[in-house]
Amino acid sequence: MAKHNILGQRGEDIAARYLEQKGYTVQDRNWHCGHKDLDLVVTKDDTIVFVEVKTRTSTDWGDPHDFIDDRKIRRIVNSADAYLRFNQVDMDVRFDIVSIVAESGEFKVEHIEQAFFPPVG
């Protein structure tokens, strides 16, 4: 497995544990349907939360969440729509980001709740 894939997997593991400690229940990890994919799907308080996990080894080029552009947001929203339809889920929906920076063997986790809203149109 490539080094960046290992880092990404480690970041998703850390994000899942972090969210569980905050009272979330992990429903799915690395959900795929065709070309659609979601990092983490969690629930808490009658809300389903689609979580994009970004892991980097430094902030030299910006914070990890800075790399989620409009195109990526549209892909996440389309994937979430597919997930909701496929699983026949009828809950409130939220989109979060967990940003992780791995420096000097330490992992700094930042959870951004309601990081973005689905684009209109």
Q: Residue ranges per domain, the chain?
A: 3-112
Tell me the pLDDT of the chain (121 aa) as tens digits. Answer: 666 667 778 889 999 999 999 999 999 999 999 889 999 999 999 999 999 999 888 776 777 787 899 999 999 999 999 999 999 999 999 999 999 998 877 889 999 999 999 887 6
Amino acid at 110: E
pLDDT number for residue 105: 78
Q: State the DSSP string of 29-60.
A: EEEEETTEEEEEEEEETTEEEEEEEEEES-ST
In angstroms, rounded to a whole number, what is the distance separating the alpha carbons of residues 41 and 4?
A: 22
Tell me the CATH architecture of domain 3-112. 3-Layer(aba) Sandwich (3.40)
pLDDT at residue 2, as a whole number? 65
